[in-house]
Structure 1
Amino acid sequence: MEVHQQSAPEPSLLDEMINHSGHVEELLPAEPQAVRIVEVVEETDHSFELNTDLLEQILLNPKVADKKVAVIGVAGAYRKGKSFLLNFFLRYLTWRSKADKVMGEVELDNNQWMSPNSPLSGFSWRGGSERDTNGILIWSEPFLMKDKNGEEIAVLLMDTQGAFDSQSTVKDCATIFALSTMISSVQDIRCFLMPHPGLKVATNPNFDGKLVDIENEFQQQLGVMIPRLLDSHALVHKEINGQKMTCRELLEYFKAYMRIFKGQDLPEPKSMLMATAEANNLAAVASARAAYQKEMEEVCGGDTPYMSTNELLEQHDRCKSVAIREFRNARKMGGVEFSLQFLDRLESDLQESYESYLKVNNGKNLFKSMRTPTVLVTLMIIDYIFQEFFQLLGLNAIAGLFSSILCIVIGALGVWAYSRYSGHLREAGGYVDDAVTYVWTNFISPNANHLGPLGGAIQMGDALGSGNRTTNSTNSDNKKRN
């Protein structure tokens, strides 16, 4: 099938945003469109590059990350109308996702989605003999649909580079086809023979994809085929090892498959099986980690009030048990011994997450956050009193020493305040915090019992701000266990 009008420029991996530090960061476009997630570097060694940043933004979007996923892709020879056909899939899903909200269940033979007078847009397409698609592209916004059981499922559309063109090697064609079929939900292959769209499509250089310019027989069969593929009763979940995948888990499979196809030679079936087993266990780790983070966010997230370190540790242990139980209950490939290394990785990830939550929680502790300026101001007052006292006694040398110390303390307070409110000199501000913590731990806190009511306040603050000691003891315990 050949067509002659392109609907939109194809995105490039070079369309990136570069910040002032020189770090390259690519962001999803504001409006949904096709984005390239796998690029074939044909100018050098025909290697494959995965755009991990874009793929993570799509698959880890909170709206879809933990929803089951269906991946619908097209693959085959170049210049046969793959992208052209995929845009009708896109039109149907766009209409269907809106129609379900308004009309509820839609009849299978409802052809309102076809919009015969609208130009075809979405994935880049055009006629001629030159290839139009490079690598693998997916639509940047998954469609949320209901499956036959009424469960909400994320639907991804995937376009692939055509095979057997003059620029691609045999390995390029085989790799693209293998990746697309391994990622695709559809494993039960069936046939649907589409008629030719008509001579007007093949010969008119101004053809823009309007259905009114396409033969009626093609339109009729299009209205039969697409609902049979994309209707809620026909959607096929992505499954591996009998387990339905979520978008979060699919990301791990994508990464694992890309690693084994990076070499110069096509991988052996055994290597592909091991990559699938690895991705399967990594997906279980990702799901378990997400379960831990969801539980912890509810008890100590950014909007929750401060809680004591001991209580936070109890919540960590509880959520950690939930996560490990979820990992062990997940269906995994590779056997028990193979999965143990991923269990260790999960425990390490959970410990890192706990330390992050601990820092956030300690930041909510007003006493701890104000410890440095309080101690420094107190030292300034005490130092000033001693300076004046020794001047009255005529001991100017000792008074001068206290005056020098006072200048140092004032300078430290100024550096700390500037660091906190400007974001600059952060390392210097950290040194000031460390120095104050040393003074607090070794001189002020041990003598709190001799300071009356002030000492009681110091002891209470010490109890509230004991997060670092607990963290250190927790870390040492983990190191001993490991």
Structure 2
Amino acid sequence: MENFDVVLCEYANRKFNPFSRTEMLQERILTFKDQGVIQRVVIISVAGAFRKGKSFLLNFFLEYLYCLQKSQQSDVPLEWLTDDCQLHGFHWRAGAKRDTVGIWIWGEPIMIEAASGEMYAVLLMDTQGTFDNTTTYQQCLTIFALSTIISCVQIYNVVDNIQEDALQHLSLFVEYGRLAMTEAQQFGKPFQSLVFCVRDFKNPEEYGYGEEGGTKFLQQVLMTSPSQPEELRCVREQLSDCFEHISCYLLPHPGYRVAEHLRPVFREELKKMVPSLLNPHALQPKIINGKPVTCRKLMHYFKEYVNSFDGNTIPEPHSILNANAKLLCIESANEAKVAYCRGMDRSTMGSRMMPEKRLLEAHIKHGITALNIFDKCPKIGTAEIRSRALAKLQEDINAELERYKRLNMAKKVTGCASAMTACGDSALLGVGLGAAASGAVAATVLTLQTGLASLMKLDEWAYAYNLKINFEKSLCCTLENLTGLIMK
């Protein structure tokens, strides 16, 4: 296994830059294996204070996953962390100087067959250490927020104890969770798994190492009392409302010569913790807005989240919500466009040239279907986000209509002109989506004059559309209704 970690995002020129200087390498993540680009993705992230062994821990994850992959592909018993194993992967070194800058990701998806039989593309993510002498609080919190949002398992790496400042860093997610559960409750809890990994734990007599002791320890840490500041009490009380699953592992000190030798007790606890997090039964795909994420969509999503933070101000819950809203609208618009194109493909599949009127009837029918699909997109975030996505959808559908008209004209069929004449086309048809779907979408007037189709500007249409005046009723128009309107 070669060293093949690549930067996913870095802080430069006073902002966070996705794909900075390594765009080609990051594209390799998506195309390294043909099956990787279409599979659901599992993203495991480790975050926490700088120089506390995050990259070191991730290399044990890599070792386990590659051994698991080999075991599944070769149908042999799983063996990992043997006495002669040599760790490779994310770069790390002992000392006090920060080693990871920005957010890094392992340069290839590791294909693992889940217990369900489905193949998952597992990606491991490493973050810049927080709260060093070169990174501001805002930058640190942004890194932590980005890694938590994009991952399905966020491992919060702390040393010796879960301090109050560690909980304070989670306040952003509690605030966002409260907002999301109000405006986007149909998607359930906004984040998936949070795992506290307490390194160098010094009190194993009271709380034993591993998950069982960690569960008891976490319960004690999250207890509330009237003497606690309201903000920290709120984090404790509402943390479980933000994450689907919260757990804790207590690990002993690994030893002072980890490059050559691990303490046996540390090795044994790792052999319990790592499989419990990464075994085929435990792996769950990343979910964003209620839908699983594939490798193909991952970079687009991550870039959108990065763009919602500028790195110079503390991330706010509304920034995350609006980023999610934009992703929702884009996905709904893409789904609507695909439905329109599929419908038009079916309507124009014949080898003979269609009369102009029949082509426009199909356009109206499938255009309304597309609008109906977009309208089902959950109403979260600002109205401006929705209006922009709607305008882009209308622009795309317009372009597709022109493409279908060109394809139709290219069908050289004997007698097509007489067929169109027999159909009784009118030079001034004057009806379209706006007339067929009256009310809220009446401003989307498709004016058909002298055989040409053009859409009006969309600002008035988007405004009327967002009002939703009788929109659902308008969308119930059938092809027969549309034909009747056209023939009037």
Distance of 1:114 and 1:168 partners within structure 2:
35
AA paired with 2:254?
Answer: P
Equivalent pair of 1:111/1:223 in contact (CA under 8 Å): no
Give the TM-score, by structure 1 length: 0.56
Distance of 1:95 and 1:289 partners within structure 2:
43
In the other structure, the counterpart of 2:453 is 476
* Displacement of 1:130: 1.5
Query: Residues 372-391 of structure 1 correspond to what in structure 2 (within 5 A)?
Result: none
Which protein is bigger by CA-based radius of gyration?
Answer: 1
* Displacement of 1:160: 0.7
* Displacement of 1:459: 8.9
Q: 1:101 to 1:346 in 2, by over 3 A?
A: farther
* Displacement of 1:299: 8.6
In the other structure, the counterpart of 1:72 is 44
Deviation track 1:406-440 (CA, whole Å, cap 9, x = no partner) reads xxxxxxxxxxxxxxxxxxxxxxxxxxxxxxxxxxx
Aligned pairs, number = 335
* Displacement of 1:37: 1.6
Over aligned residues, Cα RMSD in angstroms?
4.5
Q: 1:473 to 1:227 in 2, by over 3 A?
A: farther
Q: Higher mean Cα deviation, 142-151 or 53-62?
A: 53-62
AA paired with 2:6?
Answer: V
* Displacement of 1:236: 2.6
Deviation track 1:180-208 (CA, whole Å, cap 9, x = no partner) reads 1111113333111222222332xx6xx4x
Distance of 2:56 and 2:351 partners within structure 1:
56
Give the TM-score, by structure 2 length: 0.55
Distance of 2:344 and 2:6 partners within structure 1:
32
In the other structure, the counterpart of 1:50 is 18
AA paired with 2:276?
Answer: R
* Displacement of 1:476: 2.9
In the other structure, the counterpart of 2:57 is 85
Deviation track 1:92-140 (CA, whole Å, cap 9, x = no partner) reads 222323432332xx8xxx6513354243222222222211111011123
Equivalent pair of 1:249/1:283 in contact (CA under 8 Å): no
Q: 1:96 aligns with which of 68, 88, 91?
A: 68
Equivalent pair of 1:250/1:283 in contact (CA under 8 Å): no
Q: 1:40 to 1:357 in 2, by over 3 A?
A: farther
The runs of 5 or more residues in structure 2 that have no matched partner are: 154-192, 194-244, 419-447, 462-488
Distance of 1:111 and 1:161 partners within structure 2:
32
AA paired with 1:348?
Answer: E
Equivalent pair of 1:46/1:172 in contact (CA under 8 Å): no
Query: Residues 223-262 of structure 1 correspond to what in structure 2 (within 5 A)?
Result: 223-262=271-310
In the other structure, the counterpart of 2:224 is none
* Displacement of 1:312: 9.5
AA paired with 2:393?
Answer: L
In the other structure, the counterpart of 1:214 is 262
Distance of 1:329 and 1:306 partners within structure 2:
35
Q: 1:279 aligns with which of 310, 318, 327?
A: 327
Q: 1:164 to 1:314 in 2, by over 3 A?
A: same
Deviation track 1:48-95 (CA, whole Å, cap 9, x = no partner) reads 111185556645886445543321111011111111111222222223
Q: 1:175 aligns with which of 121, 142, 152?
A: 142
In the other structure, the counterpart of 1:447 is none
Equivalent pair of 2:352/2:416 in contact (CA under 8 Å): no
SS of the residue corresponding to residue 123 of structure 1 reads coil
Identity in percent? 38
In the other structure, the counterpart of 1:467 is none
Q: Is 2:80 the counterpart of 1:113?
A: yes
Deviation track 1:271-299 (CA, whole Å, cap 9, x = no partner) reads 33223222222233345556777x59999
In the other structure, the counterpart of 1:440 is none
Query: Residues 285-304 of structure 1 correspond to what in structure 2 (within 5 A)?
Result: 285-286=333-334
Distance of 1:228 and 1:474 partners within structure 2:
66
Distance of 2:152 and 2:359 partners within structure 1:
41
Deviation track 1:313-340 (CA, whole Å, cap 9, x = no partner) reads 9998898777666545555634999645
Distance of 2:275 and 2:269 partners within structure 1:
10
Instruction: Looking at secondary structure, tell me which structure has more strand per residue.
Output: 2
In the other structure, the counterpart of 2:8 is 37
In the other structure, the counterpart of 1:343 is 390
Distance of 1:264 and 1:191 partners within structure 2:
32
The runs of 5 or more residues in structure 1 that have no matched partner are: 1-6, 9-32, 208-212, 368-455, 461-470
Distance of 1:263 and 1:354 partners within structure 2:
42
Q: 1:351 to 1:180 in 2, by over 3 A?
A: same
Q: 1:136 to 1:309 in 2, by over 3 A?
A: farther
Distance of 1:234 and 1:472 partners within structure 2:
61
Query: Residues 9-48 of structure 1 correspond to what in structure 2 (within 5 A)?
Result: 33-41=4-12, 45-48=13-16
Equivalent pair of 2:353/2:411 in contact (CA under 8 Å): no
Distance of 1:258 and 1:233 partners within structure 2:
31
AA paired with 1:160?
Answer: T
Equivalent pair of 1:194/1:221 in contact (CA under 8 Å): yes
Q: Is 2:236 the counterpart of 1:189?
A: no
Distance of 1:336 and 1:122 partners within structure 2:
45
Distance of 1:62 and 1:353 partners within structure 2:
29
Distance of 2:378 and 2:115 partners within structure 1:
23
AA paired with 2:328?
Answer: N
Equivalent pair of 1:146/1:152 in contact (CA under 8 Å): yes
Distance of 1:248 and 1:156 partners within structure 2:
13
Instruction: Looking at secondary structure, tell me which structure has more helix per residue.
Output: 1
